[in-house]
A = this chain, B = another copy of it.
Amino acid sequence: MMNTTTEHGYAAGRARRDQIIAEATVLFGRLGFHSTTVVEIAAQCGISRAGLLHHFPTKESLLAAVLEERDREDRARFRQNGSASRDGISVLRGMVDLASYNSSLPGIIALYAVLSAEATAEDHPAHAYFTKRYERIRSETRIALEQAKAAGHLVDGVDIPAAAIELTALMDGLQVQWLLAPHRVDMAQQLHQRIQQLLVTRL
């Protein structure tokens, strides 16, 4: 019986943790990290401030959990789309697929848009996270383009390091325009069109 109770306790704790992360994601995305208070997040979860701090002792640790959770989901989605294959095209396809999937998640898009901009300040708790994140995205995009080139998929003369920066920037910039005017901007189509221009193969 002890065991069952503990397992129930674990499951309830996990469910509560997940709920706190979900509500924090929404509020950070709407108000930014600085303006969102632990009290507001707790209220959205129907618990007390102390109840929340039991799971996440600081707002910074909650932010880290929100970002970790997003990265975990994105990576799972990427793997599911076969981005582990080596011809680069599938990673590029994965970027378009992600843009398409993101179009159903304005809250998450807003979260990243607000946090990445806030985090350009060196004293922001997510500054190191976003600096590394962009390094990683640029590097992964560069590798995908190099693999696509090696497999003969790339048009001649593509400046691969510049294209990696460009595609990363394009995705970010489209998100802000899409959030402000969702019916005017099709993120996935725009990204698909631009990547297709770099390829001799159909994306």
Contact = CB atoms under 8 A, between A and B. Distances in A.
Q: Chain A interface: which size bin?
A: 35 or more
How many copies of this chain does one complex carry?
A: 2
Given A165-B174, A169-B190, A110 B121 contact: yes
B130 A180 contact: yes
A15 to B, nearest CB: 28
Interface string A30-41: 111011000000
Contacts of A30: 121
B174 A169 contact: yes
A185 B170 contact: no
Interface of A: 30-32, 34-35, 110, 113-114, 116-121, 127, 130-131, 134-135, 138, 159, 162, 165-166, 168-174, 176-177, 179-181, 184-185, 190, 193-194
